[in-house]
A = this chain, B = another copy of it.
């Protein structure tokens, strides 16, 4: 079975760094091999660098980003705990579902999709919640929610942040912002195919681990021995070694470039898209001042059909962009520029292709 080589400009996955694909071809090691432990340690060190944290418990969960979300809740929520969750898109909504399955009393603080959530509303939602949770970069809307004010004002609560689409793409300063629990995915701004979910947990949060969470696979009490080397390197589950090779290489690419340079590259691509798309009749949809550079949402020029337009991009140019979700399905496109995809040449390619599509449309009308 052969596959087309797409330029992946949807909401993720992105195109992986070439170093990542090369790393996939390395010989497989067992998860207890003496050569594997230093690799895992180095991955965790690199993750600390991109999270900007000193947290000991920082490692990739052996599953995709949504499992990271589940690990973040299931290890800290017990039945009856109050959890305040900001909801302005699909992933805030998913957080409520996951937390409720842990038995949480969820207080959802809702905001219109496409707009950012005022942090003060989350701080005011309850006097003493166990957790305050928010999505940093809403993949469904292209909106950045502000995290820093929550860390400053959280009081005794734990601050839990979804960084799936932010980590490596925009500043995310876990320690400075006093984030307690955060998770991400590999297939966005880290430039690695999907399959792992980086997770980081503060010392403060570690003291409040649920003793026996309902998930065995995601039980941090057991996993921490293996990944941190605090105790024995006790085997928990078989590590997905080839994916870990890929993550190691992707993080290496980001850190060799320099994290600030990677942020700047994502910003430059976002700026170019934000400038170029309106000239073609697309309108930027996310709230001004809270637009993600790595994920741009736009409404379509009059006459451009959602499905037909995306099909033409895919079939004629081999470029994938994403459609809208939920209330804006059919009305909004989500244009990602993340990881190795975040190059000005790809922005130029997309704007060129869209220009041709819009021009063809006008010619036939």
- Where the two chains meet, the residues of A that have a C-beta atom closer than 8 Å to any C-beta of B are 1, 3-6, 8, 10, 12-13, 15-16, 21, 24-35, 38-39, 42, 62-67, 69-70, 94, 97-98, 101-102, 185, 187, 193-195, 212-217, 237-243, 246, 248, 314, 320
Q: Which residues of B contact A38 (CB under 8 A)?
A: 1
Closest chain B residue to A16, Cβ basis:
B28
- Residue contact B25 to A25, C-beta cutoff 8 Å: yes
Closest chain B residue to A248, Cβ basis:
B1
Question: With A3-B26, A35-B3 as given contacts, are A101 and B214 in contact (CB-CB < 8 Å)?
Answer: yes
- Residue contact A65 to B237, C-beta cutoff 8 Å: yes
- Residue contact B24 to A25, C-beta cutoff 8 Å: yes
Closest chain B residue to A243, Cβ basis:
B195
Question: With A3-B35, A193-B242 as given contacts, are A66 and B102 in contact (CB-CB < 8 Å)?
Answer: no
Closest chain B residue to A43, Cβ basis:
B1
Q: Which residues of B contact A98 (CB under 8 A)?
A: 216
Closest chain B residue to A103, Cβ basis:
B214
Q: Could you say which of B10, B30, B214 contacts A6, with CB atoms under 8 Å apart?
A: B30
- Residue contact B63 to A216, C-beta cutoff 8 Å: no
The distance from the CB of A256 to the nearest CB of chain B, in whole angstroms, is: 13
Q: Could you say which of B5, B33, B241 contacts A320, with CB atoms under 8 Å apart?
A: B33
Closest chain B residue to A26, Cβ basis:
B3
How many of these chains are in the complex?
Answer: 2
Measured in the bound complex, the distance between the Cα atoms of B238 and A217 in whole Å is 19
- Residue contact A64 to B62, C-beta cutoff 8 Å: yes
Q: Which residues of B contact A12 (CB under 8 A)?
A: 238
Measured in the bound complex, the distance between the Cα atoms of B28 and A5 in whole Å is 7
Closest chain B residue to A195, Cβ basis:
B240
Where chain A touches its partner, the secondary structure class is: loop
- Residue contact B238 to A185, C-beta cutoff 8 Å: yes
- Residue contact B101 to A35, C-beta cutoff 8 Å: no
Q: Could you say which of B5, B21, B216, B243 contacts A240, with CB atoms under 8 Å apart?
A: B243
- Residue contact A94 to B216, C-beta cutoff 8 Å: yes
Q: Which residues of B contact A8 (CB under 8 A)?
A: 28, 30
Closest chain B residue to A27, Cβ basis:
B5
Question: With A62-B64, A70-B216, A214-B102 as given contacts, are A194 and B241 in contact (CB-CB < 8 Å)?
Answer: yes
- Residue contact A216 to B97, C-beta cutoff 8 Å: yes
Closest chain B residue to A213, Cβ basis:
B101
Question: With A35-B3, A63-B63, A195-B195 as given contacts, are A101 and B212 in contact (CB-CB < 8 Å)?
Answer: yes
- Residue contact A193 to B65, C-beta cutoff 8 Å: no
Q: Which residues of B contact A195 (CB under 8 A)?
A: 62, 195, 240, 242-243
Measured in the bound complex, the distance between the Cα atoms of B65 and A215 in whole Å is 14
The distance from the CB of A71 to the nearest CB of chain B, in whole angstroms, is: 9
The distance from the CB of A165 to the nearest CB of chain B, in whole angstroms, is: 11
Measured in the bound complex, the distance between the Cα atoms of B62 and A28 in whole Å is 19
Q: Which residues of B contact A246 (CB under 8 A)?
A: 242
Q: Which residues of B contact A237 (CB under 8 A)?
A: 64-67
The distance from the CB of A70 to the nearest CB of chain B, in whole angstroms, is: 5
- Residue contact B66 to A216, C-beta cutoff 8 Å: yes
Closest chain B residue to A2, Cβ basis:
B26
Give 22 pairs: A residue, B residue, CB < 8 Å, sorted on A. Answer: A3-B39, A10-B32, A13-B241, A15-B28, A21-B25, A30-B320, A63-B63, A63-B217, A66-B216, A66-B217, A66-B238, A67-B67, A69-B216, A70-B216, A94-B216, A97-B216, A101-B213, A193-B242, A195-B240, A195-B243, A214-B215, A242-B243
